[in-house]
C-alpha cells in the first residue's frame, strides 16, 4: 500500500501544472470549477461527481446524444415491445411490472472480478434502506423483489407500473462494498465508510473504460484505462481532472495550455467567459453552446418567516429583470425559466403563471404583505424589522457572483436588502443545501435527465433528513399533497397525452406557489481542443464522459 501511495503521489506531482502534458496527446487535462464532496455514485447529488464518475462507473442505461435511452451495461434495453418488460399483477391485485435485465457477459471491475447479478442484488438491497443515504436518479426501491436467473440475468419486480421501468443507475461492487456494510453498526455510517471515500484508488470500484489512479482532495484526480475494460479501447493514457474554482483563473489556464479543455456540464467556464474567449480566440478551440436541461435557480429557505409569505416570493421574481440579465450576460442564448421544465421537454406547458419584470407590482405585493419603504429605502414591517435576506452561491464562480450583484441591485430598487455570503462548492453541496442550513436564498443549478420525474427535488418523500441520512434532493423541503399525488401518477402513466396533462398541473402548482425562484436554462459552453475527436455533448443529465472511450486525439 505504501508503494501504491508513493506512485500515486508521484503521478499527481508529474501532472500538476505541467503545460507539456497537453502536447503529448496521450493525455487529456480537463479543467473543472468544483471538486466532489465524495465519489460514491449513489450518495450526494452533485454534477461534478457525476461528471467524474461517468469516466469510470457506468449506469445500466443512459440517454445518448440523441436523447434516446440505451444500454450501457445491459445487452438489450427492456421494453414492453420486446418482452423484457411485462405487466404483472401484484398479490394485492394492483398492477406491477417485471423487468428483465441482462448484463453484458464480458463486464469486469478494474481488479478483474466480473460484474454480475451479485452486484445488482447488493446495490438493490442497500438502496432499499433509507438510512444508506442514496440520492440516485432512478431509485432502487421501485423493485420490491428480484429473481436472479443466472450470473448475468435478473428479473426486477416493480410494485407499480412505472414510466422509467427501463432506466437504472450504477451498480456498486459487491465484493468491495459488502464487507464494508457488514462491519457497520448502523447503515447510516455507510456514507462515511464507503470505499469510494476511504480508498478511492481501489481498482475494483470501477467498471468503465477508465479508473482513478491518483486523487488529491480539492485539487485533481488522475484516471488511467481500466485494463479489464472489454469495450472500445480508451484513447488516452491519462485523463486528468484539474480543479480551479475561480472561473477566470480556469480561463487563464485554458489559454496557457495548463488544461486542454474545460468541462461543459456547468462545472467549467461560465457562458460569459466562453463567449468572450470565442471573440478573442475564434480559431484556437472548437466551441459549442449546447442547449441543456440544466436549470439555474434560487432555492428558498422554507423556514425563513419572511420568505414563508408567497407574496414576498412573487415580489422577488417581479423585481428581478431576468430577461435583461440573459440578454446582456448571455447574448440571449439562455431562455428565462418559468418552472423547472425546459421548453425542449415534451411535457412542457406554457400555461403557467409567469413573473415578468415589474418593479411596481413587486412593491405593491410587498406593501400588501406588510412591508413598506423605510428612511434608507429598505422596507420594514410594523415591528420595524428590515426586509433583509441572505443570498448564497458557489464562491469563485465569477458569473454567479455577477448575477448576485445584479439581483442585489434590482432587489434594492424594490426595497429588499440582500446580504451576499458565498461558500465553496464542496461546502454548499456537501452540507449546506442538504441540511438546509442556509438562512435565505441559495443559487445554483441542477441537471436533470430526459423526462426525469421531479420526485427527487419536489417529492416530500425525498426531503433530506437525519432519518434518511440526508439522502434526498428536495433541499427546499417542499410539501404539497397534490404535487405528491401527481408525481406518483406521472410515474405510472404510460400514455404520453395523459402524462402531459399531469405534468401541466405540476408546473402550475410550482409556478403558483413559487417554492423556488426560476432563473434560466443554461446553454452549456463546451470548449475543446481541435485535436480531440469523438467528443459529443448531450445537453442532459447523462453526460458526455459516459462515452469517453470514443474520445481520441487526432
- pLDDT at res. 265: 86
In order of their start, the domains of the chain are 58-175 (3.90.76.10), 290-523 (3.10.105.10)
Task: Round the CA-based radius of gyration of the chain to a whole number and report it.
Answer: 24
Measured distance CA(254)–CA(116) in Å, rounded: 41
Contacts of 330 (CB under 8 A, 6+ apart): 271, 272, 275, 520, 523
The band of 401, judged by pLDDT with boundaries at 50, 70 and 90, is very high
Q: Which of 229, 23, 13 is nearest to 108 (CA)?
A: 229
What are 19-65's pLDDT values in tens digits? 434 444 899 999 999 999 889 998 877 889 999 999 999 999 999 99
- pLDDT at res. 13: 43
Q: What is the mean pLDDT of residues 283-292?
A: 93
- 440 in Cβ contact with 390 (< 8 Å): yes
Query: pTM of the prediction?
Result: 0.76
| Residue given cell 410594523 in the structure block | 382
- pLDDT at res. 137: 67
The band of 514, judged by pLDDT with boundaries at 50, 70 and 90, is very high
3-state SS class at 344: coil
Measured distance CA(245)–CA(434) in Å, rounded: 21
- pLDDT at res. 545: 97
Distances (CA, A) of 67 to 113, 153, 333, 445, 451: 32, 26, 21, 20, 10
Amino acid at each position: 500500500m505504501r508503494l501504491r501511495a508513493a506512485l500515486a503521489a508521484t503521478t499527481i506531482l508529474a501532472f500538476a501544472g505541467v503545460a507539456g502534458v497537453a502536447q503529448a496527446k496521450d493525455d487529456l487535462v480537463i479543467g473543472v470549477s468544483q471538486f466532489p464532496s465524495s465519489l460514491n455514485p449513489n450518495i450526494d447529488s452533485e454534477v461534478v461527481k457525476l461528471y467524474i464518475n461517468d469516466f469510470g462507473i457506468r449506469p445500466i442505461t443512459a440517454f445518448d446524444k440523441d436523447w434516446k435511452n440505451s444500454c450501457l451495461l445491459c445487452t438489450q434495453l427492456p421494453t414492453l415491445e420486446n418482452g423484457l418488460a411485462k405487466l404483472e399483477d401484484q398479490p394485492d391485485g394492483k398492477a406491477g411490472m417485471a423487468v428483465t435485465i441482462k448484463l453484458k457477459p464480458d463486464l469486469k471491475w478494474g481488479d478483474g472480478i466480473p460484474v454480475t447479478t451479485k452486484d445488482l442484488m447488493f446495490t438493490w438491497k442497500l438502496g432499499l434502506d433509507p438510512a444508506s443515504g442514496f440520492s440516485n436518479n432512478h431509485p432502487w426501491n421501485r423493485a420490491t423483489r428480484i429473481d436472479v436467473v443466472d450470473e448475468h440475468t435478473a428479473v426486477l419486480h416493480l410494485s407499480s407500473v412505472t414510466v422509467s421501468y427501463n432506466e437504472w443507475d450504477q451498480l456498486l461492487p459487491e465484493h468491495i462494498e459488502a464487507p464494508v456494510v457488514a462491519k457497520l453498526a448502523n447503515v447510516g455510517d455507510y456514507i462515511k465508510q464507503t470505499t469510494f471515500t476511504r480508498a478511492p484508488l481501489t481498482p475494483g470500484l470501477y467498471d468503465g473504460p477508465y479508473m482513478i489512479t491518483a486523487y488529491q482532495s480539492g485539487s485533481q484526480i488522475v484516471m488511467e484505462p481500466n485494463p479489464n475494460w472489454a469495450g472500445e479501447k480508451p484513447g488516452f493514457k491519462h485523463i486528468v481532472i484539474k480543479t480551479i474554482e475561480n472561473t477566470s483563473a480556469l480561463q487563464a489556464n485554458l489559454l496557457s495550455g495548463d488544461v486542454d479543455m474545460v468541462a461543459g456540464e456547468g462545472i467549467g467556464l461560465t457562458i460569459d467567459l466562453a463567449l468572450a474567449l470565442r471573440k478573442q480566440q475564434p480559431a484556437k478551440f472548437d466551441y459549442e453552446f449546447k442547449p441543456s436541461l440544466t436549470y439555474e435557480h434560487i432555492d428558498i429557505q422554507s423556514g425563513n418567516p419572511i420568505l414563508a409569505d408567497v407574496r414576498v416570493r412573487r415580489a422577488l421574481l417581479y423585481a428581478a429583470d431576468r430577461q435583461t440579465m440573459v440578454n446582456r450576460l448571455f447574448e440571449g442564448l439562455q431562455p428565462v425559466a418559468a418552472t423547472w421544465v425546459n421548453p425542449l421537454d415534451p411535457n412542457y406547458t406554457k400555461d403557467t403563471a409567469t413573473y415578468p419584470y415589474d418593479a411596481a407590482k413587486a412593491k405593491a405585493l410587498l406593501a400588501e404583505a406588510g412591508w413598506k419603504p423605510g428612511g434608507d429605502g429598505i422596507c420594514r414591517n410594523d415591528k420595524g424589522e428590515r426586509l433583509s435576506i441572505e443570498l448564497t452561491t458557489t464562491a469563485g464562480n465569477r458569473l454567479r457572483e455577477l448575477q448576485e450583484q445584479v439581483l442585489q441591485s434590482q432587489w434594492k430598487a424594490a426595497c429588499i436588502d440582500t446580504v451576499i455570503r458565498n461558500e465553496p462548492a464542496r461546502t454548499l453541496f456537501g452540507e449546506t443545501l442538504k441540511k438546509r442550513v442556509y438562512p435565505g436564498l441559495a443559487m445554483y443549478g441542477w441537471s436533470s435527465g430526459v423526462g426525469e420525474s421531479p420526485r427527487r427535488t419536489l417529492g416530500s418523500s425525498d426531503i433530506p433528513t437525519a432519518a434518511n441520512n440526508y439522502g434526498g434532493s428536495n433541499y427546499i423541503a417542499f410539501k404539497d399533497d397534490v404535487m405528491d399525488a401527481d408525481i406518483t401518477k406521472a410515474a405510472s402513466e404510460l400514455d404520453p397525452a395523459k402524462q402531459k396533462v399531469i405534468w401541466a398541473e405540476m408546473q402550475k402548482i410550482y409556478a403558483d406557489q413559487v417554492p423556488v425562484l426560476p432563473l434560466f436554462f443554461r446553454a452549456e459552453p463546451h470548449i475543446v481542443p481541435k485535436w480531440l475527436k469523438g467528443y459529443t455533448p448531450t445537453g442532459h443529465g447523462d453526460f458526455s464522459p459516459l462515452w469517453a472511450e470514443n474520445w481520441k486525439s487526432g
